[in-house]
Structure 1
Amino acid sequence: MTAKPSTKRKPQWIFDPVPPSGQFTGGIPSAYVFKPELDTFVREVLQNSLDARKAASQTPTEVKFTFRQLQGDDRTRFLNTIDWEYLQTHLQAVAEGHTAMSTLLANTISDLNSTPLTILRIDDSSTEGLTGDEDTPGTNFSSLCRNILDTTKDAPSKGGSYGLGKALLWQFSTLSTVLFSSRLEGEAPQQFRFFARTELPSHETEQARWNGSGWYGLPETVRNGKRAVSIWDEVAEKITRSIYLYRPVQLGTGTSIMVVGFHEPAQEEARPLAAIAQEILHSAAQWFWYCMISATPSLRVVAEVYEGHELSFRGEAIPGKELEPFIQTVLADTTVAKAFHRGEVAEKELTFKIPAKKSGEAPEVEAALNFRLSRGEDDSEDALWGNRIALIRGSGMVVEYRSPGKKLSGIPFCGVLRAGNARGFAEADDALEMFLKDAEPPSHDQWKATERLQEEYRKGSKSRLDKLWKDLDEAVVELCGQEMRPDAEAPEALARLFRKDAIQSGKTLRQDDQKLQVSCLEAFFTEGVWRFSGRVTQPGTLKKPWSFSLLVRLDSETGEGEKLLIDHLRTTGAASVQIKAELAECVVQPSSQEIVFEGETKPVHGNSRMPDLQRTRVRLEVQPGRGGR
């Protein structure tokens, strides 16, 4: 039973004073981990709700996004209920400062009386609710409402594991303020809880200097001063009825979250709320369709928009046409060894050796992954998700739509890789589920050799993940019934990524009256770097060394495109390589007439000038070099 204070003291905002060290906090560091995009926001919200689902629930977790714009008396009543007069003194102090949050807060406060206040309420049901007392770490309450880098998600099949994703709630609030109400699992009768938090940088008011964040609740005196604790039952119900956050008993156990002053940080101009709601539903289907398609789905997502007190939009997340190939791939009753024709689904089991844990608790174990591939119509235009593979583990969210490194000309396909508890619940599946969970960065959008893997497991995580991607690429080729021909001309779709006058397969380049031929070019983006390979051939007989140079550029509609720094270049044959920033030059001894090369660019995630590299292309420029002359 969660402990409840019996006090009837008046709720209030309470901020922590600056610590004795005088440390200044300029903002919310965890907010910079994620792209401030609606797509990311939806992924984090839905993942958190699924992680809080009741273990024995036979009904799907339902998550509802409800938008309202408050004006006039509705806005006044809302602000008065959350003690706006006092909260504003702290927000205004930040607005008058020089932090990244100052300008947004200043504009919001200035416009508050003349523009509607947009609020977003997020309800989930068939979930546990904000269980836990005020102080115990690792509970639903403390992890979401009070602590930083605190998470309840130790179970392998949970989605999150860092406790950072909740930062997006405050990042999408122009007032950096979020309210919470909850009906609690395990309580009889259901207890009702209310709490609020504002995430601010360090600031100074007329009363004192403050460390940053503030909490709204009942005041409680503790050894080091005063703090706010949860408001319960009748008092909580009275407050939430005035701010559109009351949860009727019929809604069942779960959590309701309100983002005050909702906005989209990545958008230059505000969009109609109906358009935002529709994008939320599209994003939910795109990343969580696997949770929606079974006979007993685990997730249902709804969005509503109110204009005044009238419902103006309502929709439900339903996987669209672009996701049908993935869904059909999973639901296919029969499979074949190789998919030669449209609609056929081929299946193969891949294996993955999980390194032993450093603690000695778990030895090395081999786990299986289920890979299915469905074939599209030859030479047809790729669909939105064509020629990609959905990576899924036990949480049910699509971690990534991965493009394979090996390209197939004129053969559209889609694949689904189910790993860990998405495949089964054997001991090896559980072990792989935990490994892949640890392989996800805070954004949970890929499987890579994270620091957590390096801390928990013995050496080999990166090489084994690299092998998994290689095995997956080879499985794509195999299940499509193809054989990779090293000397084949590069596929037309791939050739378009490069300059035809420089690198098209079979194109000749002159060097001292000798011809160089370039072929077998490939490039793909993974783990923050571009990986590329190709072949250069000198068909003549030479008595002295020959050479070629290589540049890698981002594809651009105008101009030459941004040059990428080359990290390394490896070659076969008798050759030496010299790299100067973005230019690599290879000098080949006359005994070698052919060189196969492969290399990587330096990581580019930190370069703010770069576009979203998952959605762009590169071109290679291979030219006769000057070395060896």
Structure 2
Amino acid sequence: MQESGADESELAHLLGAPRALIEAWLDGRSVPSPDHLVKVREVLGVEDETGRGSAVGPEQQVDPAETPAVWYHRPGHDDGGREFGNAAAFAFEADLEVLAREATQNSLDERDRRSDRPVNVRYTLHELSGDALARFRTAIHWDDLHPHYEAAAAQDQKVGRVISAGLREMFERDRLVLLRVDDYNANGLTGDDYEDGRFAAVVRRQLESRKSDVAAGGSYGLGKATLWATSRLGLVLMNSTLSEPHEGHTQRRLIGRLDLPWREVDGRRFAGPAWLGRPDAESGNAEVVRSWWADEETVENLHLTRESDDPGTSFLIVGAHDVASLADSGQDQEGDVGDDEDSLERMHERLVRALGRNFWAAMTAGGDRRPLLEASVRTLRNGVEYLEEEQVDPQVHQPARSRALQAFLSGTTVDRLTEAGQVALATVPLKVPERDDLTGTAGEHRAVLLVTEATDADGRINQVTAMRGNRMTVKTSWVPGLPVGTNPFQAVLLVGRAAGDDAPFAAEAEEFLRSSEPPEHNKWGQTEELRMRYSPSAHRRIATLTSETNRAVHSLVAIPKEKKQSGTSKMSKRLKISHKPTRAVRGTVAPPKLDELNAVIDPSGAWQITAEVKVPHGGEPWRMSPVAKLEVRSGPRPVVKWAELVAVSNCELSDGVLLFPPGPGTRRAVFRGVTDVSTHPVRAALTGLVVELQESKGDVA
């Protein structure tokens, strides 16, 4: 090289090999293969004195397992085509909640079903700085990557701006956030490096989903792209323990994949992706790399050490960021990264919330049924625990819904709710259509509907949460048309295999609903796949399922007519709604108006009311104060205070004032109240009750 005046970059270019491989030869970390030596002699014009085409004897042959890992960057297309990013990554926002949903769904789908143990998923946030960051950059061969990152960051397009922000975060703030997603008791990345299998589907290919189980959550092959979308540097490293051997090995199968836009580096054009691996001597292209079976030291340096020998995969997202977290702190994901000391706390909290909201059902056990999933989140700084590992508990995040599912799994449901804590069960029909554009019905599936009383920790009340076999929440919808006075509830709809192994036509229902889900798997409705695999009108079966579900909910939560009429007849004469005019009418828009009032006297002597309000269409939001007065035989009506006010639906409560936003389709709102007995001058049993809705004296919203 010295005699010919060639440097490492020029020789790498002439050989069509990574520069890192040339540097490894010069540093004595590896020895060129015979084929490489022949090419070296050719490009440098050196004679082969042995006449054998190689100066390496049999005793000098190098074990491929000892060849160091290097980066292979896919060459640019000969036809001039250019991709400025992975289109699959743009299907989702770089949001930690989306990542948690998609990555955990994939782990759940890959649960090793040879046992009934749950798949264990652990999220680890790890912030590196100083020497720890420098050592990690060395481990990923940063010197080889840096010119590619600089070329990508110089491009004025979305991916380039994100990468530029990631580089500033690392070099100006001396900070890099790693996010590792580990799953245990899963299948791992099995199969060949290039041929069909789990490994090739995740590492080599786009838009391929190798999930044959109809109960699987994924079906588009897009979910894995969220891993790379969450990385500001487009880099994900993988360490997999296989459930079945490959090449005689099961542990520490390593590979790295980098997704960058088209770029030009040192006069060469590169298409986009790159892989970290060992050169594949059997490949037709000497530059191509494949996965390798790493030693424990390499795995540790890459922060990929797994906690046990259970099969599964560890995905390390390098330069993790969260769009929602950045938005909360006023930062721009494509612009400058400001000082944000709380970002780790927020990212940790958002991961926990997302797991609890989307996978509470998969983490719920009952009877002899074990949970399908266990999940936790922990946070480190330079290898030291910063936030303690937090196990996600479904009873904490979704207490009422978890109680409902647990009762179903344990077989302790009832036909109708008569006591607190009970779970009522009903079945709802789903007529599964025939396949291949036929208009008939393959069979009637009976979905399971569970209803129980809501708790304060459940969030929005009077909702139906629907799911199928993998028990990931697909959609949550409000039940319309509930009568005033309905006790708050939560409902769970189990469809397909989630309804039980013996549910009729469960597999057919799974396949039908899976075809009706978009890539986000967050609703059931018309999709192109549903139209092609069934018929253009097949989505109407889903609309019918929704209406039947709502009807069944009404029957389970409605107050029996005779009881309601009896209570109303006794109390109605003592209740009055005052339509005292408010201070102003905005143009032609009248203020919200009390329309219906139900009330009872509780054992403490307080009035408990449920009020329904007519909300005007259009205009600005109204701020209204409900006022309670006692109806006495003579004299002015005494005003009593509220001990409790609750906004139930289509309104909000702030400092004792109700806000009624005139949203599209909003016509009625409901609130509840309990009077303060200490402000009653006369016992409630001796009075009537008048409720007025007055415009707030504060500024109009």
TM-score by length of 2: 0.66
Deviation digits for residues 545-598 of structure 1 (CA, Å, limit 9, x no counterpart): xxxxx9879x8799xxxxxxxxxxxxxxxxxxxxxxxxxxxxxxxxxxxxxxxx
* CA apart distance, 1:182: 0.8
Q: Which residue of 2 aligns with 1:129?
A: 188
Deviation digits for residues 43-93 of structure 1 (CA, Å, limit 9, x no counterpart): 111111111111122322111111222222221111111111111111111
Q: Which residue of 2 aligns with 1:276?
A: 347
Q: Which residue of 2 aligns with 1:153?
A: 211
Residue 291 (structure 2) aligned to one of 214, 227, 230: 230
Change beyond 3 A, Cα 1:90–1:127: same
Q: 2: distance between equivalents of 1:273 and 1:327? A: 29
* CA apart distance, 1:456: 0.8
Letter in 2 for 1:373: V
Q: Which residue of 1 aligns with 2:530?
A: 453
Q: 1: distance between equivalents of 2:199 and 2:457? A: 45
Change beyond 3 A, Cα 1:301–1:90: same
Q: Secondary structure at the match of 2:243?
A: coil
Which structure shows the bigger proportion of residues in strand conformation? 1
Change beyond 3 A, Cα 1:21–1:123: same
Q: 2: distance between equivalents of 1:557 and 1:229? A: 64
Mapped pair 1:414 → 2:473: no
Q: 1: distance between equivalents of 2:116 and 2:522? A: 28
Q: Which residue of 2 aligns with 1:240?
A: 299
Deviation digits for residues 228-280 of structure 1 (CA, Å, limit 9, x no counterpart): 2111143xx442221211236x3421101101011112323444323322331
Letter in 1 for 2:277: G
Q: Which residue of 1 aligns with 2:175?
A: 116
* CA apart distance, 1:617: 7.7
Q: Secondary structure at the match of 2:203?
A: helix
Deviation digits for residues 94-145 of structure 1 (CA, Å, limit 9, x no counterpart): 10011102223223223423422111111111111110101223x2212222
Change beyond 3 A, Cα 1:207–1:11: farther
Mapped pair 1:260 → 2:349: no
Residue 373 (structure 2) aligned to one of 299, 304, 307: 299
Change beyond 3 A, Cα 1:171–1:557: farther
* CA apart distance, 1:442: 0.6
The number of equivalent residue pairs is 504
Residue 36 (structure 1) aligned to one of 94, 101, 106: 94
Larger radius of gyration: 2
Q: 1: distance between equivalents of 2:414 and 2:371? A: 27
Q: 1: distance between equivalents of 2:457 and 2:365? A: 26
Q: Secondary structure at the match of 1:101?
A: helix
Q: 2: distance between equivalents of 1:551 and 1:211? A: 55
* CA apart distance, 1:504: 6.2
Q: 1: distance between equivalents of 2:286 and 2:424? A: 65
Q: 2: distance between equivalents of 1:436 and 1:617? A: 35
CA contact (8 A) 1:338 1:478 kept: no
Q: 1: distance between equivalents of 2:546 and 2:102? A: 26
Q: How does 1:505-520 map to 2 (within 5 A)?
A: none
Change beyond 3 A, Cα 1:284–1:322: closer
Q: Which residue of 1 aligns with 2:500?
A: 424
Q: 1: distance between equivalents of 2:250 and 2:551? A: 54
Q: Secondary structure at the match of 2:213?
A: coil
Q: How does 1:452-531 map to 2 (within 5 A)?
A: 452-481=529-558, 501=590
Which structure shows the bigger proportion of residues in helix conformation? 2
CA contact (8 A) 1:358 1:458 kept: yes
Residue 350 (structure 1) aligned to one of 412, 428, 437: 428
Q: 1: distance between equivalents of 2:440 and 2:264? A: 51
Letter in 2 for 1:232: W
Q: 2: distance between equivalents of 1:111 and 1:414? A: 44
Deviation digits for residues 206-243 of structure 1 (CA, Å, limit 9, x no counterpart): 23121111111112364467422111143xx4422212
Q: 2: distance between equivalents of 1:23 and 1:60? A: 45
Letter in 1 for 2:375: V
Q: Which residue of 1 aligns with 2:690?
A: none
CA contact (8 A) 1:176 1:199 kept: yes
Q: 2: distance between equivalents of 1:206 and 1:276? A: 38
* CA apart distance, 1:294: 0.8
Letter in 2 for 1:422: A
Mapped pair 1:618 → 2:663: yes
Q: 2: distance between equivalents of 1:435 and 1:480? A: 29
Q: Which residue of 2 aligns with 1:609?
A: none
Q: Which residue of 2 aligns with 1:584?
A: none
Q: Secondary structure at the match of 2:315?
A: strand
* CA apart distance, 1:383: 4.7
Q: 2: distance between equivalents of 1:70 and 1:557? A: 50
Q: 2: distance between equivalents of 1:393 and 1:30? A: 25
Q: 1: distance between equivalents of 2:170 and 2:222? A: 29
Question: Percent identity at matched positions?
Answer: 26
Q: Which residue of 1 aligns with 2:444?
A: 366
Give the stretch that moved more between structures: 102-111 or 121-130.
102-111
* CA apart distance, 1:621: 9.2
Change beyond 3 A, Cα 1:362–1:179: farther
Q: 1: distance between equivalents of 2:666 and 2:221? A: 44
CA contact (8 A) 1:53 1:126 kept: yes
Q: 1: distance between equivalents of 2:501 and 2:430? A: 16
Deviation digits for residues 504-542 of structure 1 (CA, Å, limit 9, x no counterpart): 6989xxxxxxxxxxxx9999xxxxxxxxxxxxxxxxxxx
Q: 1: distance between equivalents of 2:400 and 2:361? A: 12
Q: 2: distance between equivalents of 1:357 and 1:522? A: 46
* CA apart distance, 1:441: 0.7
Q: 1: distance between equivalents of 2:514 and 2:261? A: 32
Residue 392 (structure 1) aligned to one of 467, 477, 485: 467
Change beyond 3 A, Cα 1:308–1:245: same
Q: 1: distance between equivalents of 2:306 and 2:412? A: 46
CA RMSD of aligned residues (A): 3.3
Q: 1: distance between equivalents of 2:412 and 2:114? A: 31
Q: Give 5+ residue unaligned stretches, structure 2.
A: 1-62, 330-339, 562-576, 578-585, 597-611, 624-660, 668-701
Change beyond 3 A, Cα 1:220–1:506: same
Q: Which residue of 1 aligns with 2:514?
A: 437
Letter in 2 for 1:127: A
Q: Which residue of 1 aligns with 2:261?
A: 201
Change beyond 3 A, Cα 1:424–1:14: same
Q: 1: distance between equivalents of 2:141 and 2:89? A: 26
Letter in 2 for 1:201: P
Letter in 2 for 1:244: H
* CA apart distance, 1:361: 14
Mapped pair 1:212 → 2:272: yes
Residue 325 (structure 1) aligned to one of 392, 400, 405: 400
Q: How does 1:167-186 map to 2 (within 5 A)?
A: 167-186=225-244
Q: 2: distance between equivalents of 1:356 and 1:215? A: 44
Q: Which residue of 1 aligns with 2:674?
A: none
Change beyond 3 A, Cα 1:111–1:396: closer
Change beyond 3 A, Cα 1:25–1:407: farther
